[in-house]
Amino acid sequence: MTADYLSYKRATTVSLIGLVIQAALAGAMLAYGIYGADPAARWASFAMLLGLPVWGSLALVFNQHKLERLEAAEAEAYRGSAAAASTVFEERPGDENAQANRLAWMHRWFLPAVSLLVGGALLGLGVYFWQTVAKSEFTRPQFQGWAIALGVGIAVIGFIFARFVAGMAKQKVWSLLNAGAASAVACALFGAAVSLAHFLSLAGLSDALLSRMRYVVAGAMVVLGAEVFFHFLRLLYTPRRQGEYLRPAFDSRLLAFLAAPDAVAKSIGEAVNYQFGFDVSSTWFYRLVARSFYALVLLAIGTVWLMSAFVVVKPDEKGLLLRGGRLESQLGPGLVTKRPWPLDSVVTFPASAVNEIVVGTLKAGNAGPILWTNEHSPNELFLIVQPSVGQRSERSEAAPGGDGSPGRADGQVGRDLALLAAEVPIHYTVRDMEKYHRLAQDAAGDDPEKMRRQMLEMVASAVTIEHLATFTVDELLGAKRVEIAAQLREIIQKAFDARLNAGVEVLFVGVAGVHPEKNVSPAFESVVQADQQRLKFIEQAEAERTKTLSRVAGDVRRAREIVAGIDDLQKAQASGAEPAALAAQEARISDLILAAGGEAARLIAEARAERWRRVTDARGAAVLGEGRLVAFLAAPGVYKLDLYLQALRSAARGARVWIVPPGDTQLRLDGTAVQADLSGFRPPAPEGPAGKR
């Protein structure tokens, strides 16, 4: 009884010491995380602080074990004394086992409750930190030297104390201390991770671990919290024997392996013995390996370290040998030997590969058609360019400025401008690795070339914006795009050499995706539509011209000859040519028209026929007139009477009217009758005695 009592008393003291050490280590990490602006260290301190309930609960349980042993010793001594038989008081069952009942309650309810508290806190904080780091950007913490020193101190103190506690936990009476050893190992691991991340960053080797340290801490808390809940559920279905106490759920088996690696080796040996069916661990080879295990581990670590003295530079790469951050030499493709890490380091870059930077607006990632009326990018960069010639000419005249430049009517100098968005891809290769490496320091994360690429992009952007501002909208939309791209390549190359001495060679510069702002694209489309309408009208006019010329002159070729002849005639008339020459030209034109056989030839033929008809009619009328004059002169009275009768016949043609002479009228063929006819015509008197002419 006395031995168990002293053992539990010692375990209680160790638990309290562990509580103090864990609080000190967590407090130091928290203080650095706050003042050093290091969220990863601050979050790691929360995970370390959650080990305090573990140590506190262990101290309470071990103290209760001590009280239970003390109670059991007193009860045993009391039962063996004479006072137990002569007591006058009635004892109730269980009065002498009060501390034992309380101890059973603590194992049954208290430790599981603490496990749920610790597991829930780890899991909840881990998920919250993971969501927080996903929404925030990485910034380099301050006081990195202090971070390295503090992390190393926490790792050393935590691991040594964890090994000490794990050694005590090998005794069955102290088995609960495995949970404390796991908490101490957690402190050591967090400290070592923080120290390693800051060391790699401060040495200029890599910022990958430091930038992801927040994810590492949050992920570790989630894993540890999930392990606690897993063991809690497992313990619910684990059978218990009388007087046996199971390991609490907050006792991490993962961390216990790191706190007692020899126990891991023993477990592996037992598993090997079980698989092979005999005691492999008793063979000479196994004992040799077990005896020289640490030496073999050191040999493996040393071999891996010496392997860092060999570096392979790929055929498409160039390398730089750095010694203490100082450039020693440039390296070509092949196997390179150097001092082992971290004495020397080799920086490689695919110098022969084609790299790309883009100035302007990046195109959208969708696979649909890219039109002026579509949304191209959430944040488009518009370039200031010159307006088109038509826009400048349509501008109202304004009063000139003081320097002779156009101005506004109010005397203030004004100028039209236009906005266009464009994508200018620039392809380049590294020509001088040393100059390119000195351009900027390596960036944090997985992309060490980010800062160099940003510097090249800024210079190229400034040059591109300045050069494109000298061209008009029409030129950038297609008229001079190829020429502008060639000019930009030369200008950007000169800027890289003069301003940065970057050691890169520009291979290609393109001007792609040029478009106006989406809201004004309909105005550009209206111009295109007007051009298409103009072309349509021109085509329609050409078709109508061909149709008309073919109809008039037979075919287009002869029509052009006729038009050329008419033009020559008009020029001859304007220059006062001879009438004979004009007549000959007119005759030639007429012959051409008639030979073409078109509508004009038909009209000319009809005109000539009409002319001959009119000439013939006029000639017939003249001959008729001459005949009538002769008839009139031969017999005027008869001629007149004939005309009169013809007029009556023409007027009465088709009418149902009969005109007869009076009954007393006597007509004689010799013309001697004196009676007048219906017209009142009276023939002239006869010339002779008998009335004859």
- Taking only the tens place, the pLDDT of each residue in 420-448 is 888 888 898 888 877 887 787 777 666 77
**Which of 168-182, 387-401, 522-536, 611-625 holds the top average pLDDT?**
611-625
Give 355-394+415-516's CATH code, choosing from 3.30.479.30, 2.40.50.140, 3.40.50.300, 3.10.180.10.
Answer: 3.30.479.30
Q: How far apart are CA 437 and CA 448, in angstroms?
A: 11
Q: Is residue 207 scored above 80 in pLDDT?
A: no
pLDDT value at 264 more than 60: no
Q: How far apart are CA 367 and CA 566, in angstroms?
A: 61
pLDDT digits (tens, 9 = 90+) for 344-370: 778 777 767 788 888 877 665 554 566
Give residue 263's pLDDT: 57
Q: What pLDDT sits at residue 571?
A: 83
pLDDT at residue 206, as a whole number? 67
What is the per-residue pLDDT for 399? 40
Nearest to 388 by CA among 327, 478, 457: 478
Domain map of the chain by residue range?
2-79+98-259, 306-349, 355-394+415-516, 525-614, 636-693
The distance of Cα 559 from the centroid of its chain, to the nearest Å, equals 60
The secondary structure of residue 652, as a DSSP letter, is H
Convert the pLDDT of each residue in 502-555 to its tens digit.
888 888 988 887 878 777 777 777 877 888 888 889 988 888 888 877 777 777
**Helix, strand and coil in the chain, % to nearest 5:** 60, 10, 30
Task: In whole angstroms, give the CA distance from residue 681 to residue 693.
Answer: 18
> Within a 10 A sphere around the Cβ of 655, how many other Cβ atoms?
7
User: 119-128, 274-283, 562-571, 574-583: which has the minimum mean pLDDT?
Assistant: 274-283
Is the model's pLDDT at 590 over the cut of 80?
Answer: no
- Residue 266 has a pLDDT of 60
Are 440 and 451 in contact by the 8 Å Cβ rule? The answer is yes
- Residue 257's Cβ-side half-sphere holds a number of Cα atoms within 13 Å equal to 6
CA 62 to chain centre: 62
Q: Is 451 helix (H, G, I), strand (E, B) or coil?
A: helix
Mean pLDDT value across residues 84-91 = 52
Which pLDDT value is given to residue 397?
Answer: 45
Helix, strand, or coil (residue 508): strand
Which residue has tokens 């496990």? 115
Of the listed ranges 154-163, 257-266, 314-323, the one predicted with least confidence: 257-266
CA distance 288 to 281: 10
- What pLDDT sits at residue 24? 92
Give pLDDT, residue 80. Answer: 63
Q: Name 525's Cβ contacts closer than 8 Å, sequence gap at least 6.
A: 372, 373
32: pLDDT strictly greater than 80: yes
Q: Environment class of residue 637 by beta-carbon count within 10 Å: exposed (0-12), middle (13-18) or buried (19+)?
A: middle
* Euclidean distance between CA atoms 225 and 209, whole angstroms: 23
For the beta carbon of residue 650, count every other beta carbon within 10 angstroms. 8
Average pLDDT over residues 203-231: 82
Higher-confidence residue of 220 and 263: namely: 220
Q: Which residue has the higher pLDDT, 335 or 675?
A: 335
What is the rounded average pLDDT of the residues 662-668? 53
User: Residue 587: its pLDDT value, please?
Assistant: 81
What are the φ/ψ torsions at residue 352 (nearest 5 degrees)?
-80, -15
Picking from 557, 478, 560, the residue whose alpha carbon sits closest to that of residue 511 is 478
- Pick the more confident residue, 259 or 512: 512
Q: Identify the CA nearest to 422 among candidates 511, 542, 294, 530.
A: 511
| The pLDDT of residue 278 is above 80 | no
Instruction: Kindly tell me if the per-residue pLDDT of 414 is higher than 80.
Output: no
DSSP 82: G
* pLDDT: which is higher, 471 or 276: 471
